[in-house]
Structure 1
Amino acid sequence: MGICLSIFGFSKPRSHDIHISASSDEDCYQPKPPKRPAQDRYNPPPQSAATKPAPTSKTSVKSQTTPTPFSASNIGPVLRKPYVDITKIYDLDKELGRGQFGTTYLCTEKATRRKYACKSISRGKLVTESDIEYVRREILILQHLAGQPNIVEFRGAYEDKENLHVVMELCSGGELFDRIIAKGSYSEKEAAAIMRQIVNVVHVCHFMGVMHRDLKPENFLLASNDDKAPIIATDFGGSVFIEEGKVYQDLVGSAYYIAPEVLKRSYGKEIDVWSAGIILYILLSGAPPFWAETEKGIFEAVLEGNLDLENPPWPDISSSAKDLIRKMLTRDPKSRITASQALQHPWMKVDGDASDKPIDSAVLARMKQFRAMNKLKKLALKVIAESLSEEEIKGLKQMFKNMDTDGNGTITYDELKTGLSRLGSKLTEVEIQQLMDAADVDNSGTIDYVEFITATMHRHRLEKEEHLYKAFQYFDKDGSGFITRDELRQAMAQYGMGDEATIDEVIEDVDTDKDGKINYEEFASMMRKGTQDSTINLT
């Protein structure tokens, strides 16, 4: 079962944004212009929201219970509102999934008996003010985008003394690519219907002053199991409100889908169109255009920009589709097509150039392989993330301050070497240099805070043998030294991540010696390669 979960602010719409007509389309949820009127950018008041008077019983929601008497001690530090006992509003049911910061539950609203997803985030995991601001911003963005087509429905956020609870729409139809693979075949016309919804999400976000910054297939779920269920965009954790004239520098996104200007630390909202273009490329070919064995290699391929539209299956793909891909993956952001313009492209239109001819079955086979590897690694990362203590997460952030001895916001090789040694690290000089090279994405010769956290969290999760082995043991329930088909089925079923076909694909792709099971060496090799989703971790 999929989970629509993710989280605020406004910006004036661009005068050149093109409104999309709401003509009917039986194949997909038709793109529409934003329903809300344009609003000025949100500017938070200088005083904390906690200084505002508490809501009276007359204005509070009936089912919501707030502490009395009102006092500063009853104000939550994250939402800056009175504590709320969520169990007075929702029944928390079975666990749907776990992540580094919290657990997601199926929940039922007491008043209506409607089912939603509730992500409970441990306040102990929000260790810095930036963590708290990150969550607040996501909530604000989801509130701002509420009611828009193809965007997850935000129900509410509640805080008690232990957790922050975010209640969202429950998307029971699963992940987009899983639905495509399960169907067994599809045409360009069906791919166009999917892309209209994805690009419309980008259009709506940009029109309303939001940059998503992490578009990828995993963030698009189906609202239900119905064949015509709309696609829902989730996870706005990396999103920001667009500030006019600002050049963004944060390293965000996921490796395969990241735009070259992000790696160059100078970008704007155009990066979302690039990411959508990568999704379109995968839909039509079964694999991403920029691929390598490591995350660093993927970044290098993105920067080189060799876009293959000549080799199979591309000779069988329409010239109109390839034209749209070229325009969405134009390297110069200023020349790149906008989301609103992409929706008007002949291939994208309802009765446009997209062909009814089924796409080559080899494309679906490649997509199965790509998704299978992603799924096993995604599940393994969940296991590893759960094993990290609050102190380990907090410690990574403190490490940077300890190493940046001159306090200039960057770390040199000597500072890194000295700092790691002072903190008791056993890394060799070769490993330190490898860490430096991998972290210094912009080739400045130094590591800034974001680069450091990215590299250390990546190493912390994937390259520490004890974490890898702990993840392997999670799957190897009987301690035989192998992950069997039954053990894989049990683990993936627990997280609602795969059916028999997916299990077959995982075994086939990871089991290199073809003995029908996965040993530790095969598992570790899969985890360290770049053939899976490689999200840049900024926490």
Structure 2
Amino acid sequence: MGLCSSKPAEEGPSRERNPHEEDEAPKKKKEERVEEEEEEEGKRSIKPSPSPVFPFYSPSPAHSLFGKSTPATPRKFFKRPFPPPSPAKHIRAALARRHGSVKPNEASLAEGDCAGLDKKFGFSRHFASNYELGEEVGRGHFGYTCSAKLRKGELKGHKVAVKVIPKAKMTTAIAVEDVRREVKILKALSGHPNLVQFYEAYEDDDNVYIVMELCEGGELLDRILSRGGKYSEDDAKAVIVQILSVVAFCHLQGVVHRDLKPENFLFATKEENSVLKAIDFGLSDFVKPDERLNDIVGSAYYVAPEVLHRSYTTEADVWSIGVVAYILLCGSRPFWARTESGIFRAVLKAEPTFDEPPWPSLSNEAKDFVKRLLSKDPRRRMSAAQALSHPWIRNYNDTKVPLDVLLFKLMKSYMRSSPLRKAALRAMSKILTVNELFYLEEQYALLEPGRNGCISLENIKVALTKKMADTVKESRVNDLVISLSGLQYRKLDFDEFCAATVSVHQIEGLDRWEQHVRCAYEIFEKDGNRAIVIEELASELGLSPSVPVHAVLHDWIRHTDGKLSFLGFVKLVHGVSSRSLSKLH
């Protein structure tokens, strides 16, 4: 599974400088110089080494693998403070450990002797008798892809693509497991029109062979470049709808891709309106409900902020789609710098610009769409299914909104909430816009409510079973149903379904958040607010009756009538915990 990286050490520039020189240089030039020296220091310490596994990594700066830097120079030698520590260094280290490119005495995780690795996958060993390899059609740092033809059978002469992964480059247990998991994921995700079709996996003493559908239309990246980088809004929609559709499908099956970028989408044919296919699941992983991943993988320009913070789930893919959408519409990257350290800083801190051409000439809906995909807070980010119901694309070519995995996370939180919070969420659901209600109506219909217009746990189980791929159906449906055990003896009508699935954080990301929440509070005042003492409120929230917690909750209750204040309402709908209360205190 994923690599658990150690906590990054405090780092700084690799050599001392004259403090007078620092004073003379502008701050911006200083930071650029530090970044360049970080790059040079890394290159001197360990030369870039290709990963042993994946043939399709982008040659972007994110995949340059460097070793450890020298110890940080003490702060006392500088008159001005350091620039922020480079987020690139611990990412390099994590990738180097994953790919086995660090020296044995430098690795913080012992992977064992390469000669002792079990590189037997249990795949068929009859590749050569079934397929005739043709010319190479693609090459990455860690392998290559060839066309091939079937040697026999009814489909004799049929062309396929074969991804060849040399076993000699699998130098770590993680690398071997990555290949094993890639094949498992390709098997699990069969059946979607925008996924490259997987046929079979083979092996011999030297290589692993992954046989797939041959896509002859080239990369999405090539088409972007051939257009000079800019797509019309309609042409961009045609691409983005297909990407969102396949990613929403993956997320429902419990798979996060983790390396979405134009290079990893191929056109099936050379036709202008060819179907787009997602490829390269070498970095993908399974993720369970409420599970978060922590290994740092991906490509620098497309990596989500929460991946750099090493705590993420399916929302990280949506960020990458937002970057692709930004590129399609304006022809430039939303986050750019001369070094990988600068790229990561931009991803973490900078906001993409929507003021320069062609953005002023594009529709407001297009800008809103991209902004809501590039929210740095993953809780405010649209899901892939929500994005397909956004006004900018929902009417494009009869776009269908798929079942959204986000629903189950929100419903689980609702079922575990106190009666007071449920009343507050019902008030929030009353102020939903027409667009938000459209999405919820589509999702409610997909859960197949019975004749009484309500959904039960059984309805949800049946709907999920129909939407799941066969190979993951049993385990995935079981995981999601268990997470919703609070619905076992309950039924939800549409009104309560809206309350259970309203995303307060997403509403908070809208421009008119304060007006929305005040309207909801007025509704709550009429229908759900009641007098409550601090002890009762703490008990409802499942908090221990400690003095610090009570001191904070004291501000949540109006002194005049003992009812929940506006501040208390806002905190309540967001969801509270002992940890969040202690931070607030």
Normalising by structure 2, report the TM-score: 0.46
Judging by fraction of residues, say which structure has more helix. Answer: 2
Greater radius of gyration (CA): 2
Normalising by structure 1, report the TM-score: 0.50
Higher relative contact order (CA 8 A, sep 6+): 1
